[in-house]
Amino acid sequence: MNLSRAKTILIYAFLGLNLFLCFQLFGEELLNPLRVRVSRNEWRYVEEQLANNGYILETKVDRSVRKSAFLTVSPSATVKETVRKHFNIPATFTTGPGEVHLYMGREAQLRVYPGGLLRVDLTPGFPLLQERAVADETVLVSLTERYLQENGLALAEIRFDHLVRSGKKTVLHYVQIFEGMPLFSGYLKAILENNTLMAVEIYLLEPETPLEEREMEVIPAARALLRLTELLGPSAPPRRIVKADLGFYSREYDAEKWEMPPVWRFLFDNGESCFINAFTGNLEPETSN
C-alpha cells in the first residue's frame, strides 16, 4: 500500500473519530443552540409582558436551561439539642396547647412545635444598638450574625436572604442551603424590636442527595416569569422583583419524610415571595411562617 495514501486514510479516520466524539458530547446543544439560553428577542418579550402587567425586574436572572429532581427531606433532629445546650436550658419541658413543648431557661425560653419549628425567646432581649439608633441593613445583619456566632446559632447551612421592616419591628430572613441551592422551606428568622433581638425561629431540614438519573429539565426562568403574570394577574401599583432563584420549596408537613419540587422563587421588595413549580409551572402556596 502507498505510504502517503495510508497516512491520509489515518488522518481522515482520526478526524472522523473526533467529530463523532464531539457530537456525542455536544450534539444536542449544537443541533439546538437556543436550548442553552433564551434569545434576546424572547427575553425582550418577557420584560415587556412584565412591564405591561406592573412588574419591575430589578435582579439578574439565570437564563440557561437547568435540570433538577425532586428532593427528599425530613425535619432536622439535631438543632433542638444544639440550641438547648448553648443556652443552658434544662431538658425538662411542659406541654402546652397544640402539643408545643416549652423548655424554660434563665436566659431563654425554647418552644418546640410538632412539625419541627423551634422558637427561642430571649429573656430579656439582647440590645444590638441603642433603641433610637438608625442602622442600615448591613449594620443590622453584621450585629445579628455576631450574636448568632457567639451563641452557637451561626449555622453552616444558612445564609442571609433579605430583611423586612414594619414599624419598630425588623425581621432578618436566612435561608437554608444544600449543595449550593436554596431550600426555601428551611430557614432562620431573627426577630428584632427597637434594635433589640427578641427571638430566633429555626426550621431546618435534612435533605437526601437526589439521584442524577432522576433529573429532568425544568422550565426556564423566562417561562416562570410569564407564569407569574398569568397566575398573579396585573399589579397596581407596580411590584418590584428583587430576587429570582431556582431552589426547592414545599409547605411544612408533620411527617417523617416528604419530597420537595424544584421551584423558581421570585422575591418582591416587600418581602413577599412567589413560588412557581419548576416542573409544572403551577403556583406553590406560601407557608404561613
| pLDDT at residue 20, as a whole number | 47
Q: Is residue 46 classed as helix, strand or coil in its secondary structure? A: helix
Q: Note whether 119 and 200 are within 8 A (CB).
A: yes
Percentage of the chain with pLDDT > 90?
Answer: 63
Q: Note whether 250 and 279 are within 8 A (CB).
A: no
Q: Is residue 99 classed as helix, strand or coil in its secondary structure? A: helix
Q: What is the pTM of this model?
A: 0.82
Q: Is residue 17 classed as helix, strand or coil in its secondary structure? A: helix
What are the start and end residues of each CATH 2.40.128 domain in the chain?
35-70+210-284
- Residue 191 grid coordinates: 426577630
Concatenated DSSP letters of 107-154: SEEEEE-TTS-EEEEEEEEEESS-TT----HHHHHHHHHHHHHHTT--
Sequence-distant contacts of 129-133: CB under 8 A, at least 24 apart = 129/195, 130/195, 131/194, 131/195, 131/196, 133/195
Q: Select the more confidently predicted residue: 176 or 31.
A: 176
Does residue 46 surpass a pLDDT of 70? yes
Q: What is the DSSP letter of 65?
A: -
| pLDDT at residue 10, as a whole number | 52
* Residue (of 131, 187, 132, 147) closest to 164 by Cα position: 187
**Would you tell me how many other CB atoms lie within 10 Å of the CB of residue 3?**
7
Q: Note whether 109 and 121 are within 8 A (CB).
A: yes
Residue-averaged pLDDT of the chain: 86
As a whole number of angstroms, the distance between CA 163 and CA 154 comes to 17
As a whole number of angstroms, the distance between CA 141 and CA 29 comes to 43
CA angle 143, 158, 147 (to 5 degrees): 25
| pLDDT at residue 89, as a whole number | 93
What are the start and end residues of each CATH 3.30.310.160 domain in the chain?
75-207
Q: How confident is the model at residue 25 (pLDDT cuts 50, 70, 90)?
A: very low
Q: Note whether 189 and 117 are within 8 A (CB).
A: no
Min mean pLDDT across 28-42, 53-67, 106-120, 237-251 is at 28-42
As a whole number of angstroms, the distance between CA 284 and CA 250 comes to 7
| pLDDT at residue 27, as a whole number | 42
Q: Does the domain at residues 35-70+210-284 carry the CATH identifier 2.40.128?
A: yes
Q: Which residue has the cell 425538662?
A: 92
| pLDDT at residue 4, as a whole number | 62
As a whole number of angstroms, the distance between CA 102 and CA 113 comes to 9
Q: What is the third-level CATH fold of 75-207? A: TATA-Binding Protein (3.30.310)
| pLDDT at residue 38, as a whole number | 72
pLDDT tens-digit series, residues 137-176:
899 999 999 999 888 887 888 999 999 999 889 999 999 9
